[in-house]
Amino acid sequence: MRPNHIRELRAAHSGTHVFVRRGSDILDIPIASDSAVLGKAEKLSLQTDLGVTTDLIKEGLIRHLVGGGRILIGFDPICFLSEAPGDNFLAASFPAELACPSWLAVVAKPEISVRTIWVNPKTQIVAMIFNLWSTNVLSMNCRQLMDIGIPLEGKYISVRKDSEVSRFRERYEVIGRVARIDGANIILGDAKYPDRTVVRSEDAYIKPRIENLEACIDVVTKNNADGIKRNLRAKLSEFRSGPGRFSKIQIHASYFSKQKIEILPGVTVSAGPLIKQGESRLFPKIETLPRPTFIFDPTRQKTHTLHDRGLDEHGPYDQATFSVRTPRVAIICQASKKGRVEQFLRNFWDGMPTVATKKGVAPYSKGFLRKYVTNPWEVEFFVADTSTADAYNKAVQQALERAGTSGRKWNFAMVQIEENFRALPAALNPYLTTKASFLAQGIPSQDFNIETITKAGTQLAYSLNQMALATYAKLGGIPWLLSATPGVAHELIFGLGSANVGGGRFGAQEKVVGITTVFKGDGDYVLENRSKAVSFEDYPEQILSSLRSTIDLLKQRYNWQSGDSIRLIFHAFKPLKNIEVDAVKTLMEEIAKISALSTHSSTWSKIIPICFVMTRRLGLEILNPERLKV
């Protein structure tokens, strides 16, 4: 059979028939003993036609889970909410004397993919592949949330949609942002449907984002909220670690290995034990690539295969030439948080040498000043009276005015923010408005959450270590280079970025693109030539302009000679099309014409074909270099 709407067939015959694809055909397989085949009957071998067998096992797993009372979240992969003891991480974070509300949860979400895999060139098996995530649950409607004091203004809301298949949990559709409350109704601002700007509060739900979840915890638990949120972060951190996740995967895999899953009347399958590396002939071949070598001095004598340990032992690559030896830094924070920010900065500068892992490794023992070999910073605080964007903007303006009156520009800015700023519209988000103000003046900035600086132990130490690396790079430092084998061609890597700019989630959007980074093959950045962001229509012209100036700059800096070739590598946000390739070809033709008229030996007289490489999520796409031959 080749029906036009397989979904309609599945809905009409759910529970009695399974419809699977085999090539361009749709096969109907009865799974109830009294069901007749819809079409011409033919025999299949479950042992040889593993594609069909895989679909039958997947359907059998779904029936098994639904028969056990589970509500499924997804079909491919199969997902559901775990009911195992301890898998509700929020409930486990509550003190013993306080019960977690049933409508509020953070639970483990197992995922099971059933697929055929080749374990060697001759052997193919059907495998159950397990993964484990966490998901938030917030099932109260907006009317109920308002009754307990949860503010809704500015939040995006969803309405329930009936699931097309009864075995799956209902779906939700985001329809707009709350502008105001009018009695029992919600008036939407940024609405998905212009003719639907009013919705009953009892029919609406807010998304279970972490900031919304924590707002509910604050209201429901009051004085216990901070402790519960700390406990929750710790439990999720342990769960998301490799050993923590694997131990729970083992529990779920063990359960299914003990079950007999019926895939057809009288036909059952069961899963074997987990396939472990080194313990099973079915485990795919594993090849371990050598670690890259990181270089920490221009002579290439100071090296290490671990970048962080190399920094601790040798210091950054450019420590002898780093120009911002005594950074002048503006600190923006809320007045009520200034004391905690000062303690955080002291740990940031001096390190946490007494904080170590169970293996005795101190993640941030040296601190920024010693690790990156800088002098103590010159800092000045500018405080915001409240957590609003207006208060933050006022503090930023004070910082910029101070720089103007003193005649000394800030080298850097550090901004304390809050996790819940993410949910705010751009114009009301202190993080976005503050960063924009500093960037407009050419001042790089680093934000840090108040929730992060209240962490303790190794959690804080690891956060500080990551922030220190980002800070040094933003100050213009080069922490390390990669040991790259010199090739025949000069290699340039361009980072292309894009963003959608608009007045809301459903308003008109404009795509803005630009070249965000340019660096050589060994990781040496060429930051002087970052392009301006332009509209999508002007994108090819901007690429051509930026490529032209970058190549001219590097040709002089590194004394490229006649006959040299270059390789351009693009980290792109979309598959490259001919319009981008044509921009590069145009540039090459320009250089070729110049070289034909010039008598200077430093000008290229020969252009060798160039490869255009784009990094994609699952590999590389290499366009035909002949298109770029001049």
Q: What is the pLDDT of residue 329?
A: 96
For residues 326-331, average pLDDT: 96
More confident residue, 176 or 616: 176
Cβ atoms of residues 204 and 158 within 8 Å:
yes
Neighbours of 413 (CB within 10 A): 25
Give the confidence band of 575 by pLDDT, cuts at 50, 70, 90.
low
Q: How far apart are CA 372 and CA 475, in angstroms?
A: 11
Residue 417 corresponds to which amino acid? I
For residues 156-179, average pLDDT: 78
Q: What is the pLDDT of residues 176-231, one digit of tens each?
A: 989 999 999 999 988 888 888 999 999 999 988 888 898 899 999 988 998 999 89
pLDDT at 286 over 60: yes
pLDDT at 491 over 80: no
Give the confidence band of 523 by pLDDT, cuts at 50, 70, 90.
low
User: Who's near 216: CB < 8 A, 6+ residues apart?
Assistant: 104, 138, 140, 145, 150
Q: What is the pLDDT of residues 32-73, one digit of tens each?
A: 766 666 667 777 777 778 888 888 888 889 888 888 888 788
Q: What is the pLDDT of residue 372?
A: 96
User: Who's near 400: CB < 8 A, 6+ residues apart?
Assistant: 437, 441
More confident residue, 568 or 310: 310
Q: What is the mean pLDDT of the chain?
A: 80
Q: How far apart are CA 99 and CA 481, in angstroms?
A: 53
Q: What is the pLDDT of residue 620?
A: 31
Stretch(es) of the chain classified as CATH 3.40.50.2300? 302-474
pLDDT at 622 over 50: no
Please measure the distance between the N-terminal and C-terminal CA atoms of the chain and give it in whole angstroms.
53
Residue 480 CB-half CA count within 13 A: 25
More confident residue, 399 or 10: 399
pLDDT at 563 over 50: yes
Q: What is the pLDDT of residue 529?
A: 46
pLDDT at 602 over 50: no
Q: Does domain 484-628 have CATH number 3.30.950?
A: no
More confident residue, 105 or 539: 105
Q: What is the pLDDT of residue 525?
A: 61
For residues 139-143, average pLDDT: 93
Chain centre distance of CA 546: 28
For residues 240-251, average pLDDT: 87
Query: 3-class SS at 319?
Result: coil
User: Who's near 237: CB < 8 A, 6+ residues apart?
Assistant: 459
pLDDT at 358 over 80: yes
Class of domain 302-474: alpha beta
Candidate from 70-79, 225-234, 273-282, 452-461 with smallest mean pLDDT: 273-282
Q: What is the pLDDT of residues 306-322, one digit of tens each?
A: 999 999 999 999 999 99
Stretch(es) of the chain classified as CATH 3.30.420? 484-628
For residues 350-364, average pLDDT: 91
Candidate from 170-179, 205-214, 275-284 with smallest mean pLDDT: 275-284
More confident residue, 23 or 344: 344
More confident residue, 298 or 33: 298
Q: How far apart are CA 498 and CA 572, in angstroms?
A: 9
The two structure tokens encoding residue 438: 């500093």
On the 0-12 / 13-18 / 19+ scale of CB atoms within 10 A, 354 is exposed
Q: How far apart are CA 525 and CA 476, in angstroms?
A: 9
Q: What is the pLDDT of residue 409?
A: 92
